[in-house]
Amino acid sequence: MRRPAALVFDLDGTLIDSRRDITTAINLMREGYGLPPLSLEQVVRMVGEGARVLIERAVGGELPAELLDEALARYLAHYDAVCLDATRPYPGIAEMLAALASSFPTALLSNKGEALSRKVLAGLGLDGYFQEVLGGDSLPTRKPDPAGLRLLAGRLGVPAEDLMLVGDTRIDAETARAAGCSFALVEWGFPRPPRLDGVLDEIAADLRVAEAGELTRSLLRSVA
């Protein structure tokens, strides 16, 4: 594997397990419209392409289209209030970031809004590991559009093709491919059914890792 010049990490499902807080916020929003709650498993299947798509999936067909903007605003307000209640880094993430940030420029690219991404990173003590942070509302487009990766490459001072994106989904893989950079697939992320994300084995990746320490070891070997 060719050594990357800089690393860009996805957030939800890659660094943090945020499923419970997202589900809580979705159900608080639904409760406000008199809708029954969704299960954790149902909500997880809807996550990954930004808050607006999440809301469209969470209330699609149950609310008229003209209420979707309001539902999104309500969800975001609820999520802002609960986003650190149950969200935690996956095992070994802080240690992994500490080791890698000492050898690589690092950035974060999430489809979660930038302010919320920064709030969660700070609340979990992970914000100091990233030189740059972009969210799903930082640009007119979001993953899998490669604009975020290209902007981060410029800010980090490296060619986009020399980045490595670390993520847990097909969307992350497509983003890396569109930017012409390498992709590391983490296999501990949110479980999703094949119809949404494909089988993990079918997601093209330059590196696959089952736990955080494995990513650290693989990338630090590339430095040596």
Q: What is the pLDDT of residues 69-114, one digit of tens each?
A: 999 999 999 999 999 999 999 999 999 999 999 999 999 999 999 9
Domain stop point among 42, 66, 82: 82
Answer for the pair 147, 156: CB distance below 8 angstroms, yes or no.
Answer: no
**Does residue 173 share a domain with residue 94?**
yes
Determine the Cα–Cα distance for residues 17 and 89; give it in Å rounded to an integer: 6
Domain stop point among 82, 105, 127: 82
Tell me, what's the pLDDT at 196? Answer: 46
Answer for the pair 128, 17: CB distance below 8 angstroms, yes or no.
Answer: no
- Rounded mean pLDDT for each run of 10 residues along the chain, 224 residues in total: 92 96 98 97 89 93 94 97 98 97 97 96 98 96 96 97 96 96 92 52 89 96 66
- Sign for the pseudo-dihedral over CA of 13, 17, 21, 23: positive
**Does residue 182 share a domain with residue 133?**
yes
Tell me, what's the pLDDT at 49? Answer: 84
Q: Is residue 1 in a domain?
A: no
**Does residue 128 share a domain with residue 70?**
no
Q: Which residue out of 10, 168, 172, 197 is catalytically annotated?
A: 10
**Does residue 47 share a domain with residue 136?**
no
Q: Is residue 106 in a domain?
A: yes
**Does residue 214 share a domain with residue 170?**
yes
**Does residue 66 share a domain with residue 41?**
yes
Q: Domain range spanning residue 93?
A: 6-17+88-223
The DSSP symbol for 118 reads H
Tell me, what's the pLDDT at 35? Answer: 97
Strands 163-167 and 182-186: parallel
Q: What is the CATH number of the domain that holds 207?
A: 3.40.50.1000
**Does residue 141 share a domain with residue 118?**
yes
Helix, strand or coil for residue 7? Answer: strand
- Is 10 among the residues known to form the active site? yes
Tell me, what's the pLDDT at 195? Answer: 42
Tell me, what's the pLDDT at 221? Answer: 87
Distance of CA 131 to CAs 12, 102, 109, 152, 176, Å? 18, 12, 11, 10, 19
Q: What is the CATH number of the domain that holds 42?
A: 1.10.150
Domain stop point among 36, 64, 82: 82
**Does residue 92 share a domain with residue 113?**
yes
